[in-house]
Amino acid sequence: MYRYVWSLVCWYLRPIIKWFLRQTTSMCELQRICYGEPSGAKRTLGVESSLYQSRNPEIKALVLGLDELTERRGFNAKTERKVLEDTIRTVLLAKKINPVAHPDFAKSFGKCVELIWGYRQLIFEIEELRKTGYDSSNLEHEMVLLKLWNLLNPYEPLEARVTKQWQDIGFQGDDPKTDFRGMGILGLENLVFFADEYPIAARHALLHSVHPRYGYAFAIVGINITSMAWRLLRDGAAKTHVYNSSKTLPGVRAFHQFFSYLFYAFDEFWIESKPTNMMEFSSISLKFENSIRTALANPATVFRLNPSLDKI
């Protein structure tokens, strides 16, 4: 009840506060955010909040249009420049901002737009991969699976397509296709990216996975980390990391990098937790996810794997 009343008060007071600040600073809320907050998550989150709370009909129509564009996956390298130019022009006119008097606003604001709707589009792109089931009759899927084996266990050839050897890299049975049901092809692509882009880190984790006391099923844990990364992306917790780390329009690669960090960090967290057996996986993974959420609550947070891991 208290939160509802407070939200109601804020809803009515917000226009008054904005009007007062505009009169005293000669700048609209978007300008104050772009000029007053550091680049990255803090500025972008502020711009995002301002745009979605705006009562200006032109801004509301703009936001709706951008939402529909990203839902169609229409925000890409070919359309990005025009989308940003049109968006900036609309805001300049709606907010009566003189581009000559405020030359830095367009660049700062445009970057925020790129991140906000790039992130929103990324959710749709990742969901599409997640819903794409692994198909053993699809040659492309089979080649990606074989690539995973070769990356993680390059000196031991597979004896057959269906073999107990898959358990050596942490699958449950003789055929990995059954383990991808929850996360679809996304789980496989995450694992391949991690092993391909960060081979030292991946093999380091794979070595831990066969530890006599603290071992775990590498591939199965990886698929669970994919699920965790998806939750963080979908509920918006990952915005802090993505907004701080992306230099361009965030795409699927940004999600793969996020997953790679989470897997490597979880591996360390698991070993440090000294589990007695795999039955502790749920409780330890929950603690790990909570620690990640706590870190992401800090707008300065950005996760990076140590580049030296691939140069040892």
Q: What is the pLDDT along the chain (312 residues), one digit of tens a residue?
A: 555 444 544 444 556 555 444 455 557 889 999 998 999 999 999 999 999 999 999 999 999 999 999 999 999 989 999 999 999 999 999 999 998 888 899 999 999 999 999 999 999 999 999 999 999 999 999 999 999 999 999 999 999 999 999 999 999 999 999 999 889 999 999 999 999 999 999 999 999 999 999 999 999 999 999 999 999 999 999 999 999 999 999 999 999 999 999 999 999 999 999 998 888 999 999 999 999 999 999 999 999 987 555 543
Helix (H) or strand (E) holding 283: helix 281-296
Q: What's the pTM value of the predicted model, to 2 decimals?
A: 0.90
- Give whole-number Cα distances, 141 to 75, 137, 168, 187, in Å: 27, 8, 20, 12
Helix (H) or strand (E) holding 123: helix 105-131
Whether the CB-CB separation of 41 and 244 falls below 8 Å is answered with yes
Question: How high is the pLDDT of residue 311?
Answer: 42
Q: In 39-79, which ranges are continuous DSSP H helix?
A: 41-53, 57-71
Exposed, middle or buried: residue 156 (CB in 10 Å: 0-12, 13-18, 19+)?
Answer: exposed
- Distance, in Å, from the CA atom of 87 to the CA atom of 81, rounded to the nearest integer, reads 10
Whether the CB-CB separation of 233 and 258 falls below 8 Å is answered with yes
**Closest by CA position to 203, among listed 277, 276, 312, 278:** 312
